Structure 1
Amino acid sequence: MQELKLDLSNLAEMFRGILPEEKVAAAQTAFLKEASEAMHTFYTGKMQTLPKAGIYGFNWFNIWYTPGVSKVSTAIREDQDESYRLSNRGNMVAVVSDSTRVLGDGDCGPAGGLGVMEGKAMLMKYLGACDAFALCVNNRDAEGN
C-alpha cells in the first residue's frame, strides 16, 4: 500500500481500488473532516501570534514596550501616517464575523465560527503575506436574536 503524501496530493488514490469510484469523493471529505478535527485538537487551533522583532533579553522590553515605545507613540500622534512605518498597521486585517453563515454549515454561533475565520486568516497569511486576526462577535441579545 502506498503512503499518503504530506501535501495530500495523492489522497484520492488512497481510496481508489478499495472503494467504488462514486464513493471516493465522499471518503476524501470524511477523511479531511476527521483529520481537521484531529489537527485542530493537536495544535489547539491553527493560528498564533509571534513577534517579528527580536527579544535578546528581558531588558529589550524597555525598547519594545515602555519606556522606549513612548517615542513611537508620540511620533504617530504627531503624524498619523507614521503608524504605517512604525507599526504593523499596514499589514494587518481583522477577519470579523458573527458566524451566522459559516460556509455550508449555517449558523454556528460565534465560537463555532472561529475555525473557519482562523482558516481565512491563515489563507491571508500564507497566500497574501498579510497578518490577520480572527474575531467572532456575539451580537445577539439575551433571546438569541
Structure 2
Amino acid sequence: MIGRQDNENIWLLASDDVYDWNGGARIVRPRWPWEFVQMGNCGSPIEIDEGWLLMTHGVGPARNYCIGACLLDRNDPAKLLARVTQPLLRADADERDGYVPNVMYSCGAMVHGRTLVLPYAVADSFTRFATMPLDRLLAAMA
C-alpha cells in the first residue's frame, strides 16, 4: 500500500493483516517548496511501461495544494526513479475560492493510450479534468 503514514512523507507499506499497516519504507519525502509542509499520494500507482506512475499532492506555504507526480521502479516500488520538480497543476486565480481555498486534489488518475487523464477537485467546490501526454510528463521529471 502507498500512504502517508507520518502525515508528511509517502510510504510503501506491506502487511499480512489488512487492519495493521505499521512499519514500511519512506519512499518520497518533501523536496521542493511547493511540498514542504507535507505530501501524499493521489490514489493508487498506475503501471506504465517505464514503471509505476504515482500522482502526488504537495502542500506548500499558506496551505497551497499542488499536484505532482513521481515514477517508481516497476520491480521494486520502494525505489524512486524520478519526480517532477515543479507542480503539474496549481490553483489559478479562478480556482482559489471555494469551501477550502487554494486546494487542488485528486483521488486517482488513469492512462488511456499514452495520455494521462487526471480528474481533480478545486477548493472542495468543483471538479475539473486535465490531460497530458505521458512522454511530456516523463520528460518533466528529474
Asked whether the two chains share a fold, i.e. TM above 0.5, the reply is: no
TM-score when normalising by structure 1: 0.21
Bigger Rg, which one: 1
Richer in strand (by share): 2
Richer in helix (by share): 1
